[in-house]
Structure 1
Amino acid sequence: MVRAGGPQADRPDRSAGPGRSPAPLLAVCAGYFMVILDVTVINVAVPVVGRELSASLTGIQWITDGYTLVFAGLLLTGGALGDRLGNRRIFCTGVVVFTVASAGCGLARSAGFLVAARLCEGLGAALIVPGSLALLQQAYPSPAARSRAFGLWGSMAGIAASAGPLLGGLLVTTVGWRWVFFINLPVGCVCLLLTLRHVAVSDRRPDRPLDWPAQCALIAAVALLTAVLNEAGRRGWTAPLILTGAGLCLLAAAGFVLRERLARTPVLPLRLLRSRSMSGAAAIGLLFNFAFYGMIFTASLYFQHHRGLTALRTGLALFPAVAMTMFASVLSGRLARRTGHRPLVVTGMLLGSAGLAGWAAAGQDPDYVLLVAPMMAAGFGTSFALTGSTATVMSAAPDTYAGTASALFNTTRQIGSAAGVALGGSLLAGAATFPTGLRLGMAIGATAYLTAAALALFCVPRKGGHA
């Protein structure tokens, strides 16, 4: 039970030397790996899932975006729950929810049931991710160790992203698409055991209540944004329903800001956003996720629907993009100690912009060899900037708001992912030809990367500097 009187741990510390042992890092990264794997592994599977479950293109978008919608909408709740009840407890709860929901996805017999199970997976992910960064910040207090931990945390996203398309293609073509979800079951069990055994318990903040009105407004804003972008390609950008949804989205976002200004205990204290580093790095995360995951989703559909590749061959075709993420985060984590984060984030975003611009300029149906370098540049650039953006957000936040800061950063990133997938699908559905919609999506993604590079110049501190 929680006793009044300040922060308390929920049980004695059984950590195996946090700050020195790599075990907490392995445990936390196992959960993060599972979450990110589910973002990318589904991309090569959704065309097959759509055919088997008779889902439309909009339905396919919702199978992908239902997960990221709930993930993004509830991340701040997950961060606030972690700060209030203990980050390890909420992290473990998320692992259990995610694992059970994955089993439900694998057992789905209709598109509607699959979307519902994906929503539950998003809930589990929203509890896992804020706690993952907060637990690393707790376990590795020294700046050098923390930077390495964040770099490895980011590289875990790269490994999961690179494994996703190949693993998804392999599973779909051998044992079936349901194993794309069943593969999470052993990973979730291992993650839970490692966390309970090796990660220190976290302090509680029982004096920090949840701000449910603000949370509901945020969920409404994210859901409306995703719905508008998903449906615009089918209904038209000027359809009354689309315009109404866009207006309600803006109204919900304004309601969230107003509530946070008036609340005594806001879920996201607006004073945190006065930090140029925190707000700027969060916006950078939104932009590079928008560009990268929009590219992965539309490219997967392009290779399978337009070029007629199998799921496995699509995974192989996407591998150059996601393989570059495997070591870019680790490399940037090491270089940051010499150069600081700003030049690395700027460089990564410029590389990503050049990559997607190169794809957009490659022509209607270019040879695959002409797409390899653009995909590699986008994958490397995104992951190269991730460590610096993460460290910038977390360093700008007080330790008592570590979970909230982590949730803010990952909320903006997942909003970017959902928007990128939704807009990419709508552009494909609304364009005269498949390649035309794809090239337009790549051009928009290149612009997003370029905007992120400009933001980094002003928002990411110099080496040893402060925003």
Structure 2
Amino acid sequence: MERVARTGQNTVALVAVCLAALMFGLEISSVPVILPTLETALHSDFKEVQWIMNAYTIACTTVLMATGTLADRFGRKRVFIISILLFGITSLLCGLAQSTLVLIISRFLQGMGGGAMLICSIAILSHQFREGRERGRAFGMWGIISGVGLGFGPIIGGAIVMVSNWQWVFLVHVGIAIITALLVFRGVQESRDPQAKKLDVAGIISLSLAVFGLAYYITQGQVIGFRSMAGLGILGGAVISFIIFLRVEKQHAHPMFDFSVFRIRRFSGAIIGCIGMNFSFWPFMIYLPIYFQSALGYDIITAGLSLLAYTLPTLVVPPLAERLTLRYQARVIIPMGLLMIGVGFLIMYYGSSVAHASWLTMLPGSLLAGIGLSLTNTPVTNTTTGAVTPDRAGMASGIDMSARLITLAINIALMGFILVEGIYSYLESNLPGAMATAPLHASAEKIAVGLSATDISEATAHAALVHGFGWVMLFGGIGVCVLALVSLLIFGIRPINKK
């Protein structure tokens, strides 16, 4: 009877954790497809569009390690409930925003709730599901529901805008958050780390400043000047902050980043997987809707449907990924998944460069990249948390998610920069008597978000946009292929011990 009751409680807990994953996944994949709508409704420019997404990811990063420590110390269930309610409240603020600035601030606050919610959910999964088969099923289900949010997010976001307005892309989370909090209260077991110590405030602040400074430098560098005193000061501040972070963590008695875990090859190889997934796949998710709507001329629903090939594998592949990992080990599956993402991007590059590009020419590369992501995602999480003892699951999952979100935040900015520079390069080479640098860059930024640029023909603007996206796809493909090799080398060619 006790076993039946425990099974029922675990089922409720799993549903709650999966709903949290659904919200987080929807918030990542449903917002990009409405960015062109937000540009018009809120009169946003290209840099503001980047910050609508980057505010969320940077905020997630700022709270990850603090949440892991607080959850270990005060209870993972308690902090999980607080984070879910915070996510619901801030989603309401996003939906009520009437300006780009208010939306960016609300997104930052929402990201704090989302990051805390996600880190707690992973730690709870690791604690409440410990047996090998049960743990595999739980993480597999978590991966499937994450895939539902990620896979159907684009079409859901597009459909919401078509039948109602963009505000409901955010407001829908309010009701889901209330239901999730009630399920957590009923089904999740409270757990703590008896060895949890004080919050590493210096580490949190220095790491957050480093990430924000680098993302700001990349995003705003063209305006403030990459080589100006202000630009170099921001970049120098980010570098100094990161050096301070490393020094603080090495000297702290109980650091939020325990670098000793990187001696575990399974953990380090999986962390490269975290970085690889967010080097290209997820940041490109921000820009791919612009390609479908502006370069291919699709409406918002067609663009959302076209994105399904990119995201839908995250729904169906995770269970297969878990079985393959059990059979061949993470040392094989994670590098293989990263390689598939990279090759997928290179195929997308070819598909976008053909004479009559369409969703069909993008389909093979999109599918391959999505399958590669799906093969990597769940095994990475399971490997990083499984490589350490259960009482360190919060810290391990914190490093896992920090690696993902820091890479995502930086590459959202970097891909935007590469896109604009690719467009600018084409305009500079193909316009007779090209404009001065500043006006031409301004035109490139307008083209990057699908707007018309003065004194530039529609055909030239379209060709420049395709050229810019080609640069981005090459960057994403080559970069993640290199990371696949790095992951393989860290894991080692031969089988390795679990510790």
Q: TM-score, normalised by structure 1?
A: 0.92
Give the SS at the match of 1:44: helix
Counting only pairs closer than 5 Å after superposition, residues 299-378 of structure 1 correspond to structure 2 as 299-362=288-351, 363=353, 366-378=357-369
**Structure 1 residues 27-63: Cα deviation after superposition (integer angstroms, max 9, x where no partner):** 1111121112101110011111121111111001101
Higher relative contact order (CA 8 A, sep 6+): 1
Contiguous gaps of at least 5 residues in structure 1:
1-12
1:314 maps to amino acid: A
Counting only pairs closer than 5 Å after superposition, residues 31-430 of structure 1 correspond to structure 2 as 31-203=20-192, 205=194, 207-232=196-221, 237-362=226-351, 363=353, 366-430=357-421
Residue equivalent to 2:497: 465
1:460 to 1:132, Cα distance in 2 relative to 1, 3 A: farther
Decide whether the 8 Å contact of 1:349 with 1:452 is kept in 2. yes
Deviation at 1:18, TM superposition (A): 5.5
2:245 maps to amino acid: F
Residue equivalent to 1:454: 485
1:134 maps to amino acid: A
1:419 maps to amino acid: I
Deviation at 1:368, TM superposition (A): 2.6
Q: Whole-Å Cα distance in 2 between the matches of residues 89 and 385 of structure 1? A: 30
1:451 maps to amino acid: V
Decide whether the 8 Å contact of 1:27 with 1:195 is kept in 2. yes
Deviation at 1:314, TM superposition (A): 1.3
Decide whether the 8 Å contact of 1:155 with 1:383 is kept in 2. no
Give the SS at the match of 2:32: coil
**Structure 1 residues 253-272: Cα deviation after superposition (integer angstroms, max 9, x where no partner):** 11111001111221222222
Structure 1 stretch 129-138 or stretch 447-456: which is displaced more?
447-456
Give the SS at the match of 1:268: coil
Decide whether the 8 Å contact of 2:296 with 2:358 is kept in 1. no
The alignment covers a number of residue pairs equal to 455
Q: Whole-Å Cα distance in 1 between the matches of residues 8 and 221 of structure 2? A: 49
Deviation at 1:207, TM superposition (A): 4.9
Decide whether the 8 Å contact of 2:10 with 2:128 is kept in 1. no
Deviation at 1:223, TM superposition (A): 0.8
Structure 1 stretch 71-80 or stretch 18-27: which is displaced more?
18-27
1:219 to 1:402, Cα distance in 2 relative to 1, 3 A: same
- How well do the aligned residues superpose, as a CA RMSD in angstroms? 2.2
2:472 equivalent among 419, 438, 441: 441
1:40 maps to amino acid: S
Give the SS at the match of 1:105: helix
Structure 1 stretch 109-118 or stretch 295-304: which is displaced more?
295-304
**Structure 1 residues 326-345: Cα deviation after superposition (integer angstroms, max 9, x where no partner):** 11111111222222222221
Deviation at 1:148, TM superposition (A): 2.4
Decide whether the 8 Å contact of 2:9 with 2:186 is kept in 1. no
2:486 maps to amino acid: L
Q: Whole-Å Cα distance in 2 between the matches of residues 239 and 148 of structure 1? A: 53
Q: Whole-Å Cα distance in 1 between the matches of residues 217 and 191 of structure 2? A: 39
Q: TM-score, normalised by structure 2?
A: 0.86
Decide whether the 8 Å contact of 2:274 with 2:404 is kept in 1. yes
**Structure 1 residues 301-328: Cα deviation after superposition (integer angstroms, max 9, x where no partner):** 1122333322222111111110111111
1:465 maps to amino acid: N
Structure 1 stretch 93-102 or stretch 295-304: which is displaced more?
295-304
Q: Whole-Å Cα distance in 1 between the matches of residues 282 and 304 of structure 2? A: 14
Decide whether the 8 Å contact of 1:233 with 1:428 is kept in 2. no
2:131 maps to amino acid: S
Larger radius of gyration: 2
Q: Whole-Å Cα distance in 1 between the matches of residues 258 and 326 of structure 2? A: 30
2:421 maps to amino acid: G
Q: Whole-Å Cα distance in 1 between the matches of residues 333 and 235 of structure 2? A: 35
1:49 maps to amino acid: L
Deviation at 1:237, TM superposition (A): 4.9
- More helix per residue: 2
Decide whether the 8 Å contact of 1:94 with 1:127 is kept in 2. yes
Contiguous gaps of at least 5 residues in structure 2:
425-463
Deviation at 1:111, TM superposition (A): 0.7
Q: Whole-Å Cα distance in 2 between the matches of residues 330 and 150 of structure 1? A: 9
Deviation at 1:364, TM superposition (A): 6.4
Structure 1 stretch 204-213 or stretch 176-185: which is displaced more?
204-213
Q: Whole-Å Cα distance in 2 between the matches of residues 157 and 55 of structure 1? A: 30
Q: Whole-Å Cα distance in 2 between the matches of residues 382 and 243 of structure 1? A: 35
Deviation at 1:376, TM superposition (A): 0.7
1:111 maps to amino acid: T
Structure 1 stretch 136-145 or stretch 200-209: which is displaced more?
200-209
